[in-house]
Amino acid sequence: MSETITFPDFERVDIRVGTIVEAEVFPEARKPAYKLKIDFGPEIGIKKSSAQITVHYQPEDLVGRQIMAVVNFPPRQIGPVRSEVLTLGFEDEAGAIVLAAIDKPIPNGRKLM
């Protein structure tokens, strides 16, 4: 069971919707990953992320896809890439990551409520 948090704790996590505008293989990563550029709209702009989603997705299938990401974590240096947001997903039964899905178009930058 996970640790209990308060609603104000949850509100501090800034989860936004964005559209992947660029995706490419990240050969320098220790585990197979893609380098992503994600458009979070005019307030936040385009941010970079590294995502270990290579089992279920090809780079060309990711461009144009809307995703959810945490935008208020500090950036992390992953090899030569400065990952600015945490792209959200879930492990499947084999441990491969499946992106958290958005089932209707949402304006980039909208916050999870």
**Which CATH superfamily is 14-99 part of?**
Nucleic acid-binding proteins (2.40.50.140)
Q: Which residue has the tokens 């505008």?
A: 21
What is the mean predicted confidence (pLDDT) over 77-84? Answer: 92
φ, ψ of residue 9 to 5 degrees: the values are -60, -45
What is the mean predicted confidence (pLDDT) over 31-51? Answer: 97
pTM: 0.93
Q: Which residue has the tokens 């220790």?
A: 30
The string of DSSP codes covering 34-82 is EEEEEE-HHHH-EEEEEE--TTT--HHHHTT-EEEEE-SSPPEEETTEE
pLDDT at 52: 96
DSSP state of 98: E
Residue range 6-37, pLDDT digits in tens: 999 999 999 999 999 999 999 998 899 999 99
Mean pLDDT value across the chain: 95
Whether the Cβ atoms of residue 50 and residue 39 lie closer than 8 Å to each other:
no
Whether the Cβ atoms of residue 48 and residue 40 lie closer than 8 Å to each other:
no
The dihedral sign for the CA sequence 8, 86, 47, 37: negative
CB atoms within 10 A of CB 19: 21
Domain boundaries, the chain: 14-99
